[in-house]
Structure 1
Amino acid sequence: MDADTNNTVLREGFLVKRGHFVPNWKARWFVLKPDKLLYYKYEGGRRDSCQRGKIPLKDCVLTCPYLEYENRPLVFKLQTANGVGHFLEACSREERDEWAADITAAGHKLHTSDGGKVTNQQEPASPRLHNIDLSKVLDSMYDVHSGIKMSSHVEQGSTYSNCFSGSAVVDWLVFIQLAGTRVDAVTLASALQEEGFLQPVGIRSVEALRTAGFSQQFMDDSTALYGFSDSLKKRGSVKAETSMSAVELSGQVVKRGYLLKQGHRRKNWKVRLFVLRSEPAFLHYYDPTKDELSPAGGFSLRSCLVSSLNDNGVPSGVSGNIQGNLFKIITQGDTHYFIQAPTNQEKMDWIDAIREQT
């Protein structure tokens, strides 16, 4: 491989990687080259120049999605020719699939003497869909701690309480790995509806049940509403969430991605998974190294101010050896959040997306 090709960067960005010796998860900066995948560590607010690892692509086998990690449905596996497995997690389904496609394409373009290539193995769509116990799925959905959360929704001027959207059901089924894909999740949700465990709520979902074929009766849609059947509600297991945290997390996900955030107390920089939601507009951030489902923090975007910071010098309030691409969010309560994006384009995309919600 010549020097020019070796310097070519096909893709780069944050992924969360499982350690080989200590099986913990760490955020690393990955750089895809035509023949290898390199990864680096961020020290404070800057990517270090020391390469922390290299994954050769020749004769690799890529498995996407890789469904063996509970609470981590966005993992893909890259196994090298000598049998070493690398487990990598993206920030979204789209990012995961794009990384997998680019790695596969790079493998196919390798010009080696023996024609080495990456093989992209798709997991079976959802092996647990066969002979699945729908009553156990229902029990999991109905669990007060880890089940699907119910709240109030408005459709065409009418308010419906103790319900959830079709897309929320699909998200939940994929997230807990009862379904490998959204298509499989819709099939599973349709079966729950067919058995009378779930019932349509509101105009859209009722109309779909009345007019569509079986495969289209359950809608993967944030505006199609569903609830548990009336007989199940008498169990008393699930209580509608009325806390502010439940309201915060009920909005539609507008954007998600890995960003660096400066801590309020120690002023250190950490990679966090940011999730932007609308109606209500909230920005939450999660620690991607942990399996916990709850946000590490978040705030309402109502009356927030978001602004780009100049990369020339270190702005007031910012600490550390920063990389750049900074922006600041000031909340209604005058809390200042300093955030770094990996690129200037991503910074501007986030600023635009946040401003649309303020």
Structure 2
Amino acid sequence: MEREPQKIREGYLVKKVMFNKWMPMWVTLLEDGIEFYKKKTDNSPKGMIPLKGSVISNHCQDFGKRMFVFKLTTTKLQDHYFQASHQEERDAWVKDLKKASTCIENGQRFSRKSTRKSIRLPDTINLSQLYHSMKDPDRGIKDLNLEKDKKVFNHCFTGTCVVDWLVANHSVRNRQEGLMLASALLNEGHLQPAGDISKNAAQGLAETTLLDNSEALYYFPDSGFFCEENSSDDDALFKEEFRGNVVKQGCLLKQGHRRKNWKVRKFVLRDDPAYLHYYDPASGEDPLGAIHLRACVVTAVEDSSKKQEVEGNLFEIITASEIHYILQAASAAERAEWIKAIQTASKIGK
């Protein structure tokens, strides 16, 4: 009897559909392919992409400002584009996709644990691993608010800082190697350019895409970076919402306040000040709304009267001003993580 292919990973991703339109989908990675659904509760998928012989590209720059996009090219040379909500999520999907594809090629069953001892090649550097080390709050690169050309660049650092860090952490032998490795990090999307000098270099207008220069500014893609000019008091108040560190992010279902319908939204949780911003994952960079979490109450919801058309893993946020938000996580574990993170932020964030 032929066994069912095991489910490796599932979650919300934004998929490019016809006419350059992007739509949030519930995506399931199986051992032999990807299935995608319009809703998580749908019984049959809208489509299936076979993995055998496919090529997975980790970083795709084909869509301008769209970040965290990866591409899967089938044996029939059909390109499928997916966008994750943040860097770590994209890396996790790509890692599992590549491993599943390799397992098919070698006639093996997918397993997260390797059955053989890993061979560490001295010349091989894991850029994703290096990126996580650079983001370490204690030992990583410190992000700053830097002023240049009458603008303030928040949560960023200089090209010199990047190379300094690589040399100090013995990731490279000298600054020239550091510059080449930093450029590779930039090319893979682990760093982003901020300001004209670094953007021009990234577009190939300099010898290297990253500059070992204290005038060239960079930032981590999900650090909460923003640039502000001399602004009004209202603008300054709005920007204050984004000053906190990003604690958690990802896609959840949100119930509308008026029509009570459910839509996939990308949520970004910041800690100080404590705000939960939500976005349309398929389009705008500007948030659709902001939930001020200071002194809020967040609890799991089991009452069936609140469920409406979705079931399970619901939780509710009640703000200090008595506004209620009903959200749904993809799993019980994810719901618990969100509740804990929001509770922590609401206590320590102003």
By the TM > 0.5 criterion, same fold?
yes
Alpha-carbon distance change, 112 to 53 in structure 1, aligned in 2, over 3 angstroms: farther
Question: Is the CA contact 2:5–2:30 (under 8 Å) kept in the aligned structure 1?
Answer: yes
| Counterpart position of 1:60 | 54
TM-score (norm 1): 0.66
- Measured after TM superposition, the shift of residue 279 of structure 1 is 1.1
Distance 2:222 2:277 in 1: 19
How far off its partner does 1:319 sit?
2.7
Residue-by-residue CA offset, 1:191-232 (whole Å, 9 max, x unaligned)? 3843x477xxxxxxxxxxxxxxxxxxx897999x9x9xxxxx
What is the aligned residue count?
269
- Whether contact under 8 Å (2:70, 2:82) holds in the other structure is yes
Structure 2 CA distance for partners of 1:167 and 1:273, relative to 1, 3 Å: farther
Say whether 1:16 aligns with 2:14: yes
The correspondence for 2:27, drawn from 4, 26, 30, is: 30
In 1, Cα distance between the equivalents of 2:82 and 2:222? Answer: 29
Q: How far apart in 1 are the matches of 2:102 and 2:23?
A: 29
State the TM-score, normalizing by the size of structure 2. 0.68
Say if 2:32 and 2:51, in contact at 8 Å, map to a contact too.
yes
Residue 245 of structure 1: CA displacement? 1.9
Shift of 1:163: 5.4
Within the candidate set 321, 324, 331, 1:333 is matched to 321
User: Which letter does structure 1 place at the counterpart of 2:56?
Assistant: L
Task: Look up the match of 2:282.
Answer: 289
Alignment partner of 1:350 is 2:338: yes
Aligned position for 2:2: 3
Secondary structure of 2:335's partner? helix
> For the residues of structure 1 that align with 2:33 and 2:222, how far apart are their CA atoms?
39
CA distance in 2, matches of 1:222, 1:297: 18
* Aligned-residue offset at 1:293: 1.3
Structure 2: segments with no counterpart, 5+ residues: 108-126, 128-143, 162-184, 200-209
Letter in 2 for 1:40: Y
| 1:94-133 superposed matches below 5 A | 94-110=88-104
The letter for the 2-side match of 1:349 is E
* Larger RCO: 1 or 2 (CA < 8 Å, sep 6+): 1
Residue type of the partner of 1:350?
Answer: W
Q: Compared with structure 1, are the counterparts of its residues 182 and 245 closer, same or farther at alpha carbon in structure 2 (3 Å cutoff)?
A: same
Partner SS, residue 49 of structure 1: coil
Listed one character per residue, the Cα deviations across residues 52-95 of structure 1 (whole Å, up to 9, x for unaligned) are 11000011111111111122111000011111110000111111
Counterpart residue type for residue 182 of structure 1: H
Does the CA contact (< 8 Å) of 1:29 and 1:47 recur in 2? no
AA aligned to 1:299 is I
Corresponding residue of 1:238:
229
**Equivalent residue of 2:321, what SS?**
coil
Q: Unaligned regions of 5+ residues in structure 1, if any? A: 114-124, 126-148, 153-160, 171-176, 199-217, 228-236
